[in-house]
Structure 1
Amino acid sequence: MQAIIFANRTGDELAPLNDHYCPARLPVGNKAVIEYTLEDIAKSGITQIKLIISSQAREIEKLLCNGEKWGLEIEYFLSKPQEETRSVLKRLALDPDESLLLVRGDIFRSPSISQFIDFSKAFPRDFVQAKMESQNAGMMLLPAALPYLADIDWPFLPHFDSTSVVTLVLHGRSFMLDSFHSYMDANLCLAKNELPTLTPSERSYLSANAQQDFYVGTKTHTGDLTSQNGWGIIGNNCRIEEKVQLKESVVIGNNCLIDKESSIENSLILPNTYVGERLEVKNSILCQDLLINLQHLGVIQIKDQALIGANEINAKPEGNKTSTLTRLFLLIIFILSLPLWPLLSVYSSLRNTFNKQSEHSTISDTCIDNLGQTFKAWRWNIPGPISARLPQIYHVLTGRLDLFGDTPEARYATGKDDRRLGVLGPVQLLLDKSAPKEERQLLELEFDADNRASKYLHLLWRALRSQPQTITASHLL
């Protein structure tokens, strides 16, 4: 038996937190949600995994690699965001008679997969619907479940059949992660040791509360925890400065700095976050510069780095990675192209003068460079995507952008702090400006998944052969 894990939720219910984490990557007790599902599957004896991903695909692959950590073999497949299960399975071309476990890897539940599989084997011809806390537990077994595939699509629909199927009620807790409260509850329940068979992996330390402990990661400085009235989980490489008060349930992610005399109460601090001196945080989720108040469900982006912000431990991307030899070659091309600039400028002006849409002869892109700085970069408004971007080569030579990389346009750079941004890329060369955001994201994912050494040459050849056009999802998948 093999398992197909669906981790293709976009997490729009958690906006703007989903700019930083898609649901499968959300940290619960300093471990991503998808990791709990993989651990649960590994305990069931299954080793072959097909992982369906969409948002933040590169980050998920970087986190999980080939699955060796869990004794698994993971094969990755790209899908449209929240694509229907039936459509995904059709493209996988699986044996219709093969026993397959389908499971959502972007909800958080108590370990239960082994129990579900063992129970389902006793009813090989019946669809076994799994429930946990009267909710859809997000798992099913094929081929018996084929007529009910829609029950595992996200968002879950409340139409469980109670007459023609077998229902298994699983013990434990289940969190849909479809609201800030659901996500917060998942973390706090783990911190309180309220989840059956799940215990924080960090080392246990006594607190002033006789019934609850702290769980602290490696290379973390906390001071004397026995005087703290709170309890919870503190990740790796953290620093809790002097006179910090930790009250009630607290979960602090990896690489966090809590400055002196601040107060954290019943809150979740996500990885790589700085909490400023004398700041009081209560019933909130903090993620770098985002403050989410759970009482009022208000979301505030803090501009003052002295209050909250990205911790410096979360290093910025390095400078330009385009090689010196390539940059020298580009410098020669840039200089040789200068005599053509007046001709291109005249051509662009004449073309757009007679254009019915009355567009400008040049286009100014708002860009974010590899160090996170916003700037303007212009290009000609002409059909050829490569020649139109000749002026932007200047930014490669100065180190602001790479030659090849993701589109540097600000509105598509959100949540891509560790991605390389470039002048040339699949979105820049193969799509026009009218292409929807979803198609841009899918095209980038497809290009990321291409491991051919010649993929950049192939990209340039495709750009030279045809004019920019809108590529639909059917072309990508």
Structure 2
Amino acid sequence: MQAIIFANRSGNELAPLNSHYCPALLPIGNKAVIEYTLEDIIKSGITKIKLVVSSQATEIEQYLGQGERWGLEIDYFLSKPEEETGLILKRLALSCDESLLLVRGDIFRSPCISQFIDFSMDFSNDFVQAKMDNQNAGMMLLPAALPYIADIDWPFSPHFDSTSVVTLVLHGRCFMLDSFRSYMDANLSLATNVLPSLSPSERSYISANPQQDFYVGAKAHTGLLNEQNGWGIIGKNSRIEDKVQLNECIVIGSNCLIDKESVIENSLILPNTYVGERLEVKNSILCKNLLINLQNSGVILINDQALIGANESLAKPDENKTSSITKGLLFILLVSSLPLWPFLTLYSSMRNALMKQAEHSTISDTFIDNLGQTFQAWRWNIPGAITARLPQLYHVLTGRLDLFGDSPEARYATGKELRRLGVLGPVQLLLDNTAPEEERQLLELEFDADLRATKYLHLLWRAFEYRYNSRF
């Protein structure tokens, strides 16, 4: 038997937190959500997995690799965000008679997969719907579940069929991670050690609370925890300075710095976050410069690094990936092409006039450059994406853009605002302005998943092929 894990949620319910984490990679007790599903699957004896990913495909693959850590074989499959399960299974071209476990890897549940599989095998001709904590547990077994595969689509359908199927009520807790409160409750439940068959993996330390402990990761500097009234989880490499007060249940991620005399109460501090001196944080989620108040779900973006911010070494914003040699070659190309510019402008105008198009001879693209500034860069309205974008090479020479990078239209994808923009890329070279947004996103994801060292040369070759085929 093999498993198909769905990790293709966009996480819009958690915006703007989803700009840092997709649901599958959300940390719960300093471990990504999807890791709990993988650990649960390996206990059931399944070792082959197809992992359905979307917007943050590259980040998920970099985090999980090929599954060696768990003794798994993971094959990645790209989909649209929250695409229908039926459409995905058709593209996977799997046998309808094969036993397959379908499971969502972007919700958090108590370990239960072995129990679900064993029970379902006893009812091999019936669809077994799994319920946990009075909710859809996000798993099913094919082929019996084939008529009901829409039940695992995200968002979950609110109704359950109670007459024509077998219902298995599983012991444990299930968190949909579809709100800040749900995400917070998942972390606090783990930190309080109340989840069946699931405990924090960090080392246990006694707190001043006789009924609860701290769980502390490696190389964490915490001070005297037995004098703290709180309890919870503290990630590896984190540092809690002098006179910090930890009250009630707290979860602090790895590589965090809690500065002196601050107060943390009933809160979640996500990895790589700095909490400033004498700052009081209660009933909140902190993620770098985001402060999320759980009482009213309000989100505050804080730009003062002395309060909260990223506790990590970020790449310099003006650091350009285009080498000096490449820039020199681009300069020669740009200068040598200048005599052709009047002819290209004339050709663009005549072409649009003959085709009775309303467009201008040039097109203006809106960019947010690699320094965070918005500007306009023009190109000719002609076939041939590389030739049309010759004027934009000037911005590569000035460092505002990279030669290869995301398109300005690519910002709809989760996390794209943190990525570098370029003149050339798969969307810029292989698609026209009429291409639907879903096609643009899938093309970007496909290119991100290509790990070949020659992928940029291959992209240029595909662009020339596309230009040649479109001509004939």
TM-score with structure 2 setting the length: 0.91
Shift of 1:374: 2.5
Is the alpha carbon distance of 1:341 and 1:226 closer, same or farther for their aligned partners in structure 2, counting shifts above 3 Å? farther
How far apart, CA to CA, are the structure 1 residues paired with 2:417 and 2:253?
Answer: 18
One-letter code aligned to 2:372: Q
Which residue in 2 is equivalent to 1:423?
423
Percent identical pairs in the alignment equals: 74
1:368 aligned partner: 369
| Higher mean displacement: 79-88 or 268-277 | 268-277
Name the Cα RMSD after superposition.
Answer: 2.7
Corresponding residue for residue 243 of structure 2: 243
The aligned residue for residue 312 of structure 1 is: 312
Deviation digits for residues 405-438 of structure 1, max 9, x if unmatched?
Answer: 2225684586247645322101222334455544
| 2: CA distance, partners of 1:221 / 1:278 | 18
Residue 55 of structure 2 corresponds to residue 55 of structure 1:
yes
Q: Which moved more, 1:407-416 or 1:178-187?
A: 407-416
Question: What is the one-letter code of the residue matched to 2:131?
Answer: K
- What's 2:167 paired with? 167
TM-score (norm 1): 0.90
Q: Secondary structure at the match of 2:250?
A: strand
Q: Secondary structure of 1:87's match?
A: helix
Moved more, 30-39 or 154-163: 154-163
In structure 2, distance between residues paired with 1:398 and 1:90: 47
Change (3 A) 1:183 1:361: same
Structure 1 distance, partners of 2:209, 2:293, is 26
Are positions 1:85 and 2:85 aligned together?
A: yes
What do the CA deviations read for 1:66-117 (whole angstroms, capped 9, x no partner)?
0000000000000111111111111111111111111110100000001111
Tell me the amino acid that sits aligned with residue 76 of structure 1.
Y
Q: Deviations over 1:11-59 (max 9, x none)?
A: 1111111121111111111111011000000111100000011120000
Aligned equivalent of 1:474: none
| 1:388-421 CA distance string (max 9 Å, x none) | 3223323433444332222256845862476453
Please identify, of 31-40 and 372-381, the stretch whose mean Cα deviation from structure 2 is larger. Answer: 372-381
Counterpart amino acid of residue 258 in structure 2: I
Structure 2 counterpart of 1:379, which letter?
A: W
Question: Per the alignment, do residues 414 and 84 of structure 1 end up closer, same or farther by CA in structure 2, a change over 3 Å counting?
Answer: closer
Displacement of 1:357 in angstroms is 4.6
Counterpart of 1:184 in structure 2: which amino acid? M
Q: Residues 150, 445 of structure 1: CA spacing in aligned structure 2 closer, same or farther, 3 A cutoff?
A: same
CA–CA distance in 2 between the matches of 1:255 and 1:342?
56
Unaligned runs of 5+ in 2: none
What's the counterpart of residue 379 of structure 1? 378
Structure 1 unaligned runs (5+)? 469-477
Aligned partner letter, 1:97: D
Contact 1:368-1:413 at 8 Å conserved across structures: no
* Count of residues in correspondence between the two structures: 467
Structure 1 residues 316 and 204: alpha-carbon distance in aligned structure 2, compared to 1, 3 A threshold: farther
Q: Does the C-alpha gap of structure 1 residues 103 and 462 become closer, same or farther in structure 2, counting only changes over 3 Å? A: same
**AA in 2 matched with 1:72:** L
Deviation at 1:266, TM superposition (A): 0.8
CA contact under 8 A between 1:9 and 1:54: conserved in structure 2? Answer: yes
Structure 1 distance, partners of 2:218, 2:392, is: 45
Tell me, in whole angstroms, the C-alpha distance in 2 between the residues paired with 1:410 and 1:153.
Answer: 25
Q: Which stretch shifts more, 90-99 or 57-66?
A: 90-99
Report the Cα distance in structure 1 between the residues aligned to 2:314 and 2:31, rounded to whole angstroms. Answer: 17
2:67 and 2:318 map into 1 onto residues whose CA distance is: 28
Cα distance in 2 for partners of 1:410, 1:2 equals 34
Aligned twin of 2:178: 178
Stretch moving more, 231-240 or 388-397: 388-397
Name the counterpart of 1:294: 294
